[in-house]
Structure 1
Amino acid sequence: MPKNPQTNPQPDAGPVLPRRRALALLAGALTLSARPALASDVRAGAFAFEKPEGGTLPLEAYAGRPILVVNTATACGYAGQFTGLQGLWTRFGDRGLTVIAVPSPDFGNQEPLDGVAIAEAARKNHGVTFPVTAKTHVRGPNAHPFYRWAAAEKPGSTPNWNFHKYLIDRDGSLIGAFPSNVEPSDPRIVTAIANALPAA
């Protein structure tokens, strides 16, 4: 004969569910708090770009040096900034700055060239001597891992057009982001680079 639940009450399970819920919430909170820490543990040196002539350009090769990474396009109205970027490279290269151009078709498809023709056009038209990578996506689902990392590090400062600039510190952390309309010679960029360089 089945037992009468009123005469044989089971232990009250009421507190168990709140405890489980509390543990689940605590685990979720710990996971969320860990995410920024994990993101900040990643450094730019973890990434590499393809070279137009073949092979890769690993950012770890520039460990201990600040890097200015700029998504470029040779047919863009901002293409004159190549000259300003070359000026930064000339001015600060001996002190450790690296400038890297990352040609991208993502904004108005204003990079019509491919392969080594992009670097050759930048050299011929603007005197560029700093590294130029292969054509690369910098936004959307096909964005290069460096740009996905940078977007996570500075979500409000992602590229909206060609010639967006990211400044990487000597320890590989992302310390600055400058939109397309900020010229390379702008005091904000020059000061940020100077502060990132070793003392003269």
Structure 2
Amino acid sequence: MSEFYKQSINTLQGQELNLSELEGKVVLIVNTASQCGLTPQYEGLQALHEQYSDQGLVIIGCPCNQFGEQEPGSEKEIEGGCLINYGVSFTMSEKVDVNGKNSHPLFVYLRKQLPGVLGSRIKWNFTKFLIGKDGQPIKRFAPTTKPQAIEAHIKKSLA
């Protein structure tokens, strides 16, 4: 079993999501923030979710307040903002740290598997990690990479 499937994360509603439940699916994990210049990417992520979820794509947004304190709200405020402002219906996790000693274990794993420009650190909000159907990390995308720009990678992974 892939190390990815040994991970778990709590949803924004406080329920544990064992990633082993996603075996056979293509997963896109994104660290998010609701008060960032990149926040409009929620629209593109939601569009990908609507287009490809029936084909096996799962998107998990992971709110993080480590970059410019751009996710200061409570879980309820985050949930309301994502739904009201962007119509988000994909899975959102609890607020997590993605860098440093308090990093969520999922992000420790992802950073190690797919290092970026800053080595294993995550540069900013909306860094994206694409995981294949077999649980193997495929590619890391920069914060400024728009969701539409990774659609071809998603389609190839779903095929």
Q: TM-score range by the shorter chain?
A: over 0.9
Contact residue 116 and residue 140 of structure 2 kept, 8 A: no
Residue 52 (structure 2) pairs with residue 89 (structure 1): no
1:173 to 125, 132, 136: 136
1:61-100 map, 5 Å: 61-100=21-60
Distance in 2, Cα, partners of 1:159 & 1:88: 23
Distance in 1, Cα, partners of 2:20 & 2:75: 23
Contact residue 50 and residue 134 of structure 1 kept, 8 A: yes
Residue 147 (structure 2) pairs with residue 196 (structure 1): no
1:119 to 79, 94, 117: 79
1:128-139 map, 5 Å: 128-139=88-99
- How many angstroms does 1:50 deviate by? 1.4
Runs of 4 or more, structure 1, over 3 Å off, are none
- How many angstroms does 1:53 deviate by? 2.0
Normalising by structure 1, what TM-score? Answer: 0.75
Q: Where does structure 2 lack aligned partners over 5 or more consecutive residues?
A: none
- How many angstroms does 1:179 deviate by? 0.6
- How many angstroms does 1:42 deviate by? 4.3
Residue 10 (structure 2) pairs with residue 47 (structure 1): no
- How many angstroms does 1:52 deviate by? 2.4
Map of 1:159 onto structure 2: 122
1:109-129 CA-partner distances (Å, limit 9, x unpaired)? 100111132122101001100
- How many angstroms does 1:88 deviate by? 0.4
Normalising by structure 2, what TM-score? Answer: 0.93
Contact residue 8 and residue 17 of structure 2 kept, 8 A: yes
1:26-80 CA-partner distances (Å, limit 9, x unpaired)? xxxxxxxxxxxxxxx7431111111222221121111100000000000111000
Contact residue 45 and residue 172 of structure 1 kept, 8 A: yes
Distance in 1, Cα, partners of 2:37 & 2:116: 24
Q: Where does structure 1 lack aligned partners over 5 or more consecutive residues?
A: 1-40
1:156-186 CA-partner distances (Å, limit 9, x unpaired)? 3542000010000000010010011000011
Residue 67 (structure 2) pairs with residue 107 (structure 1): yes
Distance in 1, Cα, partners of 2:56 & 2:2: 22
Q: Of Structure 1 and Structure 2, which has the larger fraction of its residues in strand?
A: 2
Q: Which has the higher contact order (CA 8 A, sep 6+)?
A: 2
SS of corresponding position for 1:129: coil
Map of 1:3 onto structure 2: none
SS of corresponding position for 1:75: coil
Percent same amino acid at aligned positions?
A: 34
| Larger CA Rg, structure 1 vs 2 | 1
